Structure 1
């Protein structure tokens, strides 16, 4: 096993284990609507990653390199979507008792897959990985190059599936302990908003 491939595996592990909007969304959906919805959300975010895998494999990511404005537009659009998610996940107050509770309507659960997919399609971390880092791990003399990009991208995708599925499962098992901490309901929207600000800064810089 080459040093370059080991370096690639380490980079994949670090990126997929680092908290981001996709992981946070999976955890939030699992806690609010159960493990099945959490797994749907995980499947959605990884389907979004698979889109980038295909772009990288067939060279379409070069469009973002050649047209930076297009990529910045995607970043800013993603930031607006994160703000929207922050609004949706902010705990609502029940009338009368003044206690803050999360919205548990069936609509968020119904669209867990599609929303998860949109999160990763607009996630700057994933886009930057496939634009900037992935090409550095593929040998310059690789032939056919598209196959290397596809295999490396699928490794990244599979790693993300394992991590996010684990998050969905473990978040559900810790549901009671976490829900006893009422402040935890405010963590997802605050982090969504913080990541959105970071995305705005990167997209407008």
Structure 2
């Protein structure tokens, strides 16, 4: 079992990462605003199933890679650090778009398609695999038991965190979009706060030592 203090820090990191804008969040917001909360929830179900699929695949992968390749941890740590810095840049890059500004003229999809696109948006997004493969090893130690079990444990926490945050976003997307349209200064505050936290996580990951 992973110690509770490590799990709490991972929970915080997962929370920060899930509120960083990405394909999943953009898709859920666009569907929630254009088709309503029900469409957003169906899309969210697809995204969550995609996470569960990714977790199982990555758990098997981590177990094999960390045992088979001596320098795998360093490679994965480097990828994770670069990925976090990339997310930080994406948050504050010039002319970055407010994710709550969506095209309200996009097509209306049926429930089956909403679920399928949500699932595929997650599964086919290479950034998800990079996140799992590079971030999970920072919290996994052989002395805590099976690497596969630890990966699943972290995956369940990350999925629950992602579901909880995105569930709130789906229910409040229209109101939040209206708030940001009236208070554009908060968009800049949110972006710089997010970038600062991501840089902190990147530095911590870069300085972490192999288990």
Q: CA RMSD in A?
A: 3.1
Partner of 1:103, secondary structure, is coil
Partner of 1:102, secondary structure, is coil
Residues 33-85 of structure 1: CA deviation (Å, up to 9, x unaligned):
1110001111111211111111122237857x99xxxxxxxxxxxxxxxxxxx
Q: List alignment gaps of at least 5 residues for structure 1.
A: 67-89, 92-100, 182-205
The answer to whether the Cα contact below 8 Å between 1:61 and 1:131 also exists between their aligned partners in 2 is no
- In structure 2, the residue matched to 1:12 is 14
- In structure 2, the residue matched to 1:87 is none
- Scaled by the length of structure 1, what TM-score is found? 0.61
- In structure 2, the residue matched to 1:21 is 23
- Scaled by the length of structure 2, what TM-score is found? 0.59
Counterpart of 1:103 (choices 87, 101, 106) is 106
Alignment of 1:36-75 (within 5 A): 36-59=38-61
The answer to whether the Cα contact below 8 Å between 1:27 and 1:38 also exists between their aligned partners in 2 is yes
Q: Is 2:142 the partner of 1:140? A: yes
Partner of 2:142, secondary structure, is coil
- In structure 1, the residue matched to 2:118 is 116
Output the CA distance in 2 between the equivalents of 1:121 and 1:152: 18
Output the CA distance in 2 between the equivalents of 1:61 and 1:145: 6
- In structure 2, the residue matched to 1:170 is 172
Partner of 1:22, secondary structure, is helix
1:109: how far off?
Answer: 5.3
1:6: how far off?
Answer: 2.9
Q: Is 2:163 the partner of 1:161? A: yes
Output the CA distance in 2 between the equivalents of 1:174 and 1:11: 23
Residues 87-134 of structure 1: CA deviation (Å, up to 9, x unaligned):
xxx85xxxxxxxxx50343x3654111101111112233211211110
The answer to whether the Cα contact below 8 Å between 1:45 and 1:120 also exists between their aligned partners in 2 is yes
The answer to whether the Cα contact below 8 Å between 1:29 and 1:109 also exists between their aligned partners in 2 is no
